[in-house]
Amino acid sequence: MGNFERPDDDSPRPDLANMPSLGEMISLYEKVLSELDSAISTQKEFAKETPKSDLPRDWANNIIDK
């Protein structure tokens, strides 16, 4: 604990004025979740259309729904 090094005076400081607001962060988070949901849906549809001969047709749903 005694070996803590303090930043020197020349080190960059965060610019708090440019930080996004909580509302903006939530909006970005919701956008990412929406894009992930869309990508997952696309992959599920693709997996349904191209089943492997040794896998059941709904194998993608079984994996994602678990």
Tell me the DSSP string of the chain.
Answer: -TTPPPPPTTS----GGGSPPHHHHHHHHHHHHHHHHHHHHHHHHHHHHS--TTS-TTHHHHHHT-
Q: Is residue 16 part of a domain?
A: no
Is the pLDDT at 38 greater than 70, yes or no? yes
Q: Is residue 53 part of a domain?
A: yes
What is the per-residue pLDDT for 16?
A: 78
Domain that holds residue 48: 40-66
Q: Is residue 20 part of a domain?
A: no
pTM of this structure: 0.48
| Span 4-29, pLDDT tens digits | 677 677 777 777 788 889 999 999 99
In total, how many domains does the chain have?
1
Q: Is residue 64 part of a domain?
A: yes
What is the per-residue pLDDT for 45?
A: 80
